[in-house]
Structure 1
Amino acid sequence: MSLRNRLRGYAAGTLLTAALTAGSIASASAAPAQGGTLTWIVAPEPASIVPLTTTAGGNAEIGPKVVEGLLTYDKDLNPKPLLATAWSVSQDGLQYRFTLRQGVKWHDGKPFTSADVAFSILTLKQVHPRGRSTFANVTGVKTPDPYTAIIELSKPAPFLLTALSGSESPIIPKHLYEGTDIASSPYNSAPVGTGPFVFKSFVRGNYILLERNPNYWDKPKPYVDKIVVRFLPDGAARAAALESGAADLADQAIPLADVKRFSALPNFTVDTTNWPYVSNHQQLIFNLDTPVLKDKAVRKAISQAVDVNALNKVVWYGYGQVSAAAIGAANTKYHDAGIHYFPYDLAQANAALDAAGLKRGADGTRFKLRLLFNPFQDPRAADFVRQSLARIGIDAEIQSYDFATYVKKAYTDRAFDITLEALSNAFDPTVGVQRVFWSKNFKIGLPFSNAAHYSNLEVDRLLEAASVETDEAKRKQLFIQFQQAVHDDIPSIEFGANPNITIVSKKVRDYAPTGEGLRGNFADLSLQP
């Protein structure tokens, strides 16, 4: 099937799991209730709200409630209308034409037009961690009238039409951002959008308040009057807030040890969907600028000392889906199931380190490493890695930071030797995976990019070829070869999909009707009596 035919138009869909089927059927048979306040726990607290200069989870979840994208997506990641009502792709894949929704206003009353779209796409190309590759082939955006935007490319981008959600490519108001320092704009934390909810306040360390947009273009939506986004310091406090009724919804917020208990509570649903637009994936990344880690034999020895299947059982309580391949198993289209972990073998690992001249000292230690972890990782994963490496004489010193400090330490200061990251595969490997391994995506200060400082010309060639290949069979083969190449090179140890646990009160309906999961806009969400 040609790119043009595949991308022209799609049916709507709803992302559901077996656990949610009964509740979804009930909500479909009753009209959504109007009113009420949703209390939603998000962890950790984001540094800002709009996912413009960051792909951080908190921004990607909260931002789309205020600032929308051109499109939304069903469970198969087929695009559906949002700020764009229609779209077409030229036969050569070099021009994307969007018809924009008329009558939409920014929350400050200014009209939304194609000028906002053009400004946003070109801005994302410069400042968004994934946007640098997503829109790398964009040469310009034409705006022949206020309701038409035409994205022009130098080369095909078969993933582009899937990259236009509010969580990935937010459309921002040109009249507020133009001529300013985008990274430090106050509107990143106090957004003005077109979405179903209007930003009211952000009290650091406490909450964000959003209120219903009475002028939303998709009336009578949204249904709830307010959203209070709560920030609580630890998993036990978050679990207590849910159980007491002080909170209605939480994602990745409670200790995994509590999941089984919550599954038995009558007033809650435990949803374990790995939302396809996000496609959770975690990994241990080597800093290849660290002298001792330049030796692939050392990296292989470390990989043979970290039993990822055991990590899944001990740290993730068996709720994860491990994957030795850089493209995880959730991506059924491109995942290479034939890639396996190097065998867990402490004897081989110790022998390899001896052979590399890294003998144990009198205290049994060969060398030390600085071990960081993204706060989106379970801290117990860092403990697991530390204990694993101790068995082969490596002293991994855990350094724990809040999210903002972690990002600076890892991507600006590069003050780490190994780091546990949470770089999701996202909706397409060119967008979610390429950033991790593409040598041209190494840039000091760019969050969630090529933290390893990995450079392999063949890997670059495969990634770049896949990014423009419109034949699906050929594209898959390129990604298969890529996965094999990076597995052999060992710039990282892939953990796979960490558990995605959403705890939701049964009074909350239609909180995740799209493939974006909680990264949708909550316009359909309602609170039933």
Structure 2
Amino acid sequence: MSLFSRRLVRRLGFFTVLSTAAALTLTACSDDSPGTSDNAANSSISINGTASTIVENWNPFSPTQLQPTLGVIHEALYYYNLASDVPPRPMLATAYSWDAAGKQLTITTREGVKWSDGQPFTARDVAFTFELIRKNKAINGSGLALTSAKATDDKTVVLTFPTTSFTTEPGILGNTAIIPEHVWSKISDPAKTTNPNPVGTGPYKLKSLNAQGFVMEKNPNYWQPGKPQIQTVRYITLATADAASAALTAGQVDWMSSYIPNLDKIISGHKNLAYVNTPALTASIFTCSNAAMGCKGPQTDRAVRQAMYHALNRDQLNKLAGGGFAGTASPTLLLPDRDQKWIADPAHLRTPGGPDVAKANQILDAAGWVRGADGIRSKGGERLSMRIQTVTGWSDFISLNDAMAQQFKEVGIELKPTQLSSNEWNNNQVQGKFQLSLDSIGLGASSNPYFTYNGRYTSATTAKVGESAGTSGNYARYSNPTVDQAVAAAGATNDENVQKQHYATIQAQIVQDLPYIPIYLNSTLTQFNTSRATGWPTNDNKYAFPATWKSWDSGIVLTSLKPAG
């Protein structure tokens, strides 16, 4: 499993792994296992990606839902491709518009759509979905504030909000599964149901499920003409990188997202194998940066954080820990390729590959950090020594810590790596009980920087040390009134030119303050077997984020595939 997928597993509770023997036995023995026929009527593929213990749950509001729930069974109003800077694609909606105040969103729904049970889909299903969320706090995971959701006719929905709500747009349009009123109106507790007979508008519906895996089959009522062309999709699991490599080269799995050592060498020996790398999460040193919020240690000195930024030899770290697959990060914490239009200063587009030891030393000298006899600096009796936490077993991050300890030593900084259980590591970040921590900053709800900056940098999303900063908030305890004001102003408008001005203000602050010190973009490696299906995403055509575990995107990929031959 890639580092990227590990982060999403931890944050969103997706899936772990099963035994190789069980997975391969399932593939080999089932009547639904992929064959080699080029006949579209019999086309079938296998995907590596499901839960270690299959517990049936197709509830789109549940954090423990099975992987195909979002995008394969249930669809959203629009699809947001976070792998590219492209407009959202209409799905169950064809148009939307805000009023000038940002308090009313009008949505036009697609006509001619049917649910997988043959019942017609209308705007009333959309209104019902959002009313259900509004009335049930337990399924309102995003904290969406709605006054009402009403269908004014069969193809028009009006959502009304108590305050300006432009920034809710991606969550509403792209991250809310629309459910059928005729099914869910009969469910007494929408938070607790496992939705055992899921009815959706997506390209596939459930065919069979047992303790080892499950099979999806084509939805004959799917609204996109001629899609999907692959008839059945089997979800299996593989336990280790060796097992994944063996299954891929043996043709026993068609789509997987795993870190496989020597991947280029393995791929080069098999004409039907391909892969795509979509670096997207910024691996960073999280710092408990704010002494006023209770943080303690040299990392509360901005000069120390700046020196660390310049002392990193990122090219070396990529070779040692990233396998050479990592991408270049930006000190703005945005993605340099996808988000270039949002990065105001070209000098902040990418982090340097090599270190600038002279600059790091100059910064520390000017800040009064003096080298001792052992080469480690101190100031006012405080030694420039910090602990950095990571999770036991995260071998790539452990390698990063070991290498960074040597790099920082060159400029007089002592780094002390420590390994913790994932729960303790996570709790420390949430509570602010750390000096430095290795983690990654993700994609956000859309490519708009608001969803990175509001979560990671605003005073409203943090808390004093010892108090919870939420599940994915401002763990650095960073507080800057200039940033707070700019984020709020950007969120109060949907004019991109105005937003860019505010983001420029934010970036000017955070690239100096560096509460999160970027290292590189983690690789996300996804492998394909093209002998049974073609049309997979490529490095040149990232029409979807290709990882098997990515919600919403998996439905886009499956509807883009064609039987090989």
Do the two structures share a fold, i.e. TM-score over 0.5? yes
Q: What is the DSSP-based 3-state SS (H/G/I as helix, E as strand, rest coil) of the residue aligned with 1:322?
A: coil
1:399 aligns with 2:425: no
Is the Cα contact below 8 Å between 2:295 and 2:432 reproduced in 1? no
Counterpart in 2 of 1:17? none
For each residue in 1:163-220, what CA deviation from the matched residue of structure 2 results, as whole angstroms up to 9, or x when unmatched?
Answer: 5565x332245654876363x5534x9854321112456667x544323223323344
Q: What is the DSSP-based 3-state SS (H/G/I as helix, E as strand, rest coil) of the residue aligned with 2:560?
A: coil
C-alpha displacement at 1:397, in angstroms? 0.7
Equivalences for residues 34-53 of structure 1 within 5 A: 34-42=41-49, 52=61
User: Where does structure 1 lack aligned partners over 5 or more consecutive residues?
Assistant: 1-30, 361-365
1:492 aligns with 2:493: no
For each residue in 1:303-357, what CA deviation from the matched residue of structure 2 results, as whole angstroms up to 9, or x when unmatched?
Answer: 4554334323332244312222222202122024322659553756674851264
Q: Output the TM-score relative to the length of structure 2.
A: 0.70
Evaluate the alpha carbon distance shift between residue 223 and residue 428 of structure 1 in structure 2; reply closer, same or farther with a 3 A threshold.
same
CA distance in 2, matches of 1:200, 1:412: 41
- Given candidates 321, 324, 328, the residue that maps to 2:328 is 321
C-alpha displacement at 1:69, in angstroms? 0.5
C-alpha displacement at 1:150, in angstroms? 1.5
Q: What is the DSSP-based 3-state SS (H/G/I as helix, E as strand, rest coil) of the residue aligned with 1:436?
A: helix
Equivalences for residues 221-300 of structure 1 within 5 A: 221-251=227-257, 253-255=258-260, 257-263=262-268, 265-273=270-278, 279-288=280-289, 290-292=295-297, 293-300=299-306
Equivalences for residues 47-86 of structure 1 within 5 A: 52=61, 63-72=70-79, 76-86=85-95
Counterpart in 2 of 1:170? 177
CA distance in 2, matches of 1:32, 1:77: 34
Evaluate the alpha carbon distance shift between residue 332 and residue 185 of structure 1 in structure 2; reply closer, same or farther with a 3 A threshold.
farther
C-alpha displacement at 1:120, in angstroms? 4.1
Evaluate the alpha carbon distance shift between residue 450 and residue 495 of structure 1 in structure 2; reply closer, same or farther with a 3 A threshold.
same
C-alpha displacement at 1:400, in angstroms? 4.9
Comparing 308-317 with 410-419, which one deviates more in the overlay? 410-419
Is the Cα contact below 8 Å between 1:130 and 1:431 reproduced in 2? no
Is the Cα contact below 8 Å between 1:326 and 1:483 reproduced in 2? no
CA distance in 1, matches of 2:317, 2:50: 22
C-alpha displacement at 1:233, in angstroms? 2.2
CA distance in 2, matches of 1:173, 1:380: 44
Comparing 295-304 with 60-69, which one deviates more in the overlay? 295-304
Q: Output the TM-score relative to the length of structure 1.
A: 0.74
CA distance in 2, matches of 1:410, 1:120: 36
Q: What is the DSSP-based 3-state SS (H/G/I as helix, E as strand, rest coil) of the residue aligned with 2:253?
A: coil
CA root-mean-square deviation: 4.1
Equivalences for residues 435-474 of structure 1 within 5 A: 435-442=455-462, 444=468, 446-474=470-498
Aligned residues: 474
Q: What is the DSSP-based 3-state SS (H/G/I as helix, E as strand, rest coil) of the residue aligned with 1:241?
A: helix
Percent identity over paired residues: 23
- Given candidates 99, 106, 109, the residue that maps to 1:97 is 106
CA distance in 2, matches of 1:43, 1:407: 25
CA distance in 1, matches of 2:281, 2:268: 22
Q: What is the DSSP-based 3-state SS (H/G/I as helix, E as strand, rest coil) of the residue aligned with 2:229?
A: coil
Is the Cα contact below 8 Å between 1:69 and 1:170 reproduced in 2? yes
For each residue in 1:260-293, what CA deviation from the matched residue of structure 2 results, as whole angstroms up to 9, or x when unmatched?
Answer: 541453112222356xxxx543333224554224
For each residue in 1:37-88, what CA deviation from the matched residue of structure 2 results, as whole angstroms up to 9, or x when unmatched?
Answer: 221123897997767566x9x9787621111000235765223331113434
Counterpart in 1 of 2:534? 509
Equivalences for residues 173-212 of structure 1 within 5 A: 173=180, 176=184, 180=189, 182=191, 185-187=193-195, 192-199=199-206, 207-212=213-218
Is the Cα contact below 8 Å between 2:184 and 2:190 reproduced in 1? no
Evaluate the alpha carbon distance shift between residue 199 and residue 311 of structure 1 in structure 2; reply closer, same or farther with a 3 A threshold.
farther
Q: What is the DSSP-based 3-state SS (H/G/I as helix, E as strand, rest coil) of the residue aligned with 2:347?
A: coil
CA distance in 2, matches of 1:179, 1:441: 34
Evaluate the alpha carbon distance shift between residue 477 and residue 294 of structure 1 in structure 2; reply closer, same or farther with a 3 A threshold.
same
Counterpart in 1 of 2:33? none
